[in-house]
Amino acid sequence: MNILVTGGAGYIGSHTVLELVERGHRVVVLDNLSKGHRAAVGGIEFVHGDTGDARLLSETFKKYNIEAVVHFAASSLVGESVQQPAAYYQNNVVKGLALLDAMVSSRVLKLVFSSTAAVYGEPIEVPIMEDHPTLPTNPYGATKLAFEAAMLWYSGAYGLRYASLRYFNAAGADLAGKIGEDHHPETHLIPLVLKAAMGSVASLAIFGTDYPTPDGTCVRDYIHVSDLAVAHALALDALSAGRDRAVYNLGNGNGYSVLEVIRTAEEVIGKPINVKYGPRRPGDPAVLVAGSGRIKKELGWRPRFADLKSIIETAWLWHSSHPAGFEK
Ligand code: UDP
């Protein structure tokens, strides 16, 4: 299939591009490089531009005979979204709608969307299933949910077929060691823990020790980025086979606290990590753990990296060999 991947130069996007190419698809990446890295998709057909650019989209669909889109391009930081909701509505909703409209006009009607556990907000029960109420507690989750609603209505009226993948905490790196996580600034727990171990940040701040969890720190469900990548490929196959709409959670179903992540990283690296205890980060729910039974049952998805240690090992492989990320 000819597939356009928006935001394909980003962390999850570039791992998905790799998976799609390995499966024999022809992939074109559209990325404005505001966050992504050109080096993450070396050798892949690349269009430098924005999902809000309707003309560029219709030209790209035509030029490459695009049959499906995987849409990653978005702003994705919870804390930043609370400070700058306008940017999140602009990037994630307004530009997203431009993409949907261009797809409908060009009759490109298959879409896999990069959604998030942040659509659920504070869970009322865990593991979280797809039919859990969606009450986001920050603009990031709200804008992803708004785009999901648009896909639903576009599917009824214009024949769009879509799968929305709600990821829990993506982590790790491709085993070949050529691509990995490289955000500027880095805000995510696992890369920051590894950077603290390497001395490129002085210490790791633990955001809150008074949560209602066994050790007082937040519990999250970490899922390997290559397992996420496979889920996108399976979702595309399902759309091609005639599936018209689907929403899937993606996690391992195991929760690990911040302290457990730090302890596991110390075990992988073989040295202690310097930590500081700090206050809670606004907008963080205490526990997020996925129920991913639906995608397992319907698409046969199975995580290859089901435990935290194996996920951190792959992240460490990338970070220890690329201390300056893609700039090396
Ligand atoms: N966290 C932390 N210190 C950091 C970064 C994150 O204690 O420097 C915690 C954060 O509060 C959350 C968990 O680690 O409970 C995962 O955060 P991350 O930003 O990696 O992902 P998110 O859950 O926001 O998607």
Q: What is the DSSP string of 4-40?
A: EEETTTSHHHHHHHHHHHHTT-EEEEEE--SS--GGG
Ligand 1 center–CA 158 separation, angstroms = 39
What is the separation of C-alpha 29 from the centre of its chain, rounded to a whole number of angstroms? Answer: 16
Ligand 1 atom closest to residue 218's alpha carbon, by position in its atom list? 15
Length of the chain: 328
- Choose which residue among 261, 281, 308, 311 to substitute to test ligand 1 binding: the one with the highest number of ligand atoms within 8 A of its C-beta: 281
Contact 16, 179 (CB under 8 A): no
By the 8 A CB rule, do 111 and 103 touch? yes
Nearest CA residue ID for atom 10, ligand 1 = 207
| Token reading at 245 | 């709409």
Q: Which CATH superfamily is domain 174-221+253-288+305-321 in?
A: UDP-galactose 4-epimerase, domain 1 (3.90.25.10)
What mean pLDDT do residues 188-213 have? 96
Tokens of 80: 């930043």
Smallest CA separation from ligand 1 atom 3, residue: 206
Q: Is the CB of 226 under 6 A from ligand 1?
A: no
State mean pLDDT over 157-161. Answer: 98
Asked if the bond preceding 282 is cis, omega within 30° of 0, the reply is: no
In one-letter notation, the amino acid at residue 309 is K
Q: How many CA atoms lie within 13 A of 193 on its CB side?
A: 25
Asked whether residue 63 carries a pLDDT value surpassing 60, the answer given is yes
Is there an atom of ligand 1 within 6 Å of 166 CB?
no
Judging by beta carbons within 10 Å of its beta carbon (0-12, 13-18, 19+), is residue 112 exposed, middle or buried? buried
The hierarchical CATH code for the domain 2-170+222-250 is: 3.40.50.720
Give 69-96 pLDDT, tens digit per residue.
999 999 999 889 999 999 999 999 999 9
* Residue tagged active-site, from 11, 140, 167, 211: 140
Task: Say how far apart CA 64 and CA 243 lie, in whole Å.
Answer: 24
Ligand 1 centroid vs 205 CA: distance in angstroms?
A: 10
The predicted model scores a pTM of: 0.97
Can you give the pLDDT at residue 79? 87
Angstrom distances, CA of residue 45 to CA of 28, 62, 63, 64 = 5, 14, 12, 10
91 lines ligand 1 (CB under 6 A): no
Question: What mean pLDDT comes out for the span 261-272?
Answer: 97
Which ligand 1 atom is nearest residue 192's CA?
8
Strand partners, 47: 30
Q: Strands (DSSP E) along the chain, which ranges? A: 2-6, 26-31, 45-48, 68-71, 110-116, 161-167, 169-171, 204-207, 219-220, 222-224, 245-250, 256-257, 275-278, 287-288
Give CATH 3.90.25.10 domain extents, the chain.
174-221+253-288+305-321
| Integer-rounded Cα radius of gyration of the chain | 19
Nearest to 270 by CA among 207, 307, 320: 320
> Which residues of the chain form CATH 3.40.50.720?
2-170+222-250
User: For residue 188, how far is its CA from the centre of ligand 1 (angstroms)?
Assistant: 6
Q: Is 256 a catalytic residue?
A: no
Going from the Cα of 189 to the center of ligand 1, the distance in angstroms, rounded, reads: 5
Q: Residue 307 pLDDT > 80, yes or no?
A: yes
